[in-house]
Amino acid sequence: MKKVYFACSIRGGREDALVYGQIVDLINKYGKCLSELFGTEDHPHVDKSLSDAQIYRRDINWLKTADCVIAEVSTPSLGVGYELTKAEEWQIPVLALYRRHPARKLSSMIAGGGKIKVHKYSSVDQLDGVIKDFLATEGV
């Protein structure tokens, strides 16, 4: 079973927390989501007991042990950008999920690099097969 690091906006905005939870459920259907707590709606309250350094070490450890990364990149996030850079540096396969939105554009740093697979979607219903296929073909 593939170990997946799920990256999403945490401090940059939690408007999509429900979507994150649905994506985590899909990941767990085909693999093991190491960072599934990111998909909970009350996530900001979960980490109140941890320092920034503890969060960094925990998340980097999850990322280092992951077979691949699935990132929801519709809401811009400095942390997600950092995590994707580390994944690329460590040659960990990445699938970036971007929900089409008229007021937002996907960063060229994600869309233009070629090493990150990008899938644009309108509804989470469109992601089941995408995630299943990615986990079947990427990682160890």
Structural domains of the chain in order of their starting residue, each with its CATH number: 3-137 (3.40.50.450)
pLDDT at 5 over 90: yes
Half-sphere exposure of 80 (CA within 13 A, CB side): 27
What stretches of 5-51 show up as alpha helix (H) in DSSP?
A: 17-30, 43-46
pLDDT at 43 (0 to 100): 52
pLDDT at 119 over 90: yes
Higher pLDDT, 108 or 113: 108
Sheet bearing 32-33, strands edge to edge:
32-33, 3-7, 68-72, 94-99, 116-121
pLDDT at 31 (0 to 100): 96
pLDDT at 116 (0 to 100): 94
Q: 64 CB contacts (<8 Å, ≥6 apart)?
A: 90
Higher pLDDT, 36 or 25: 25
pLDDT at 22 (0 to 100): 94
Mean pLDDT in the chain?
A: 88
Tell the residue number behind the tokens 């599934």, with chain if given: 36
pTM above 0.85, yes or no: yes
List pLDDT tens digits, range 48-100: 678 889 989 999 999 999 999 999 999 888 999 999 999 999 999 999 999 98
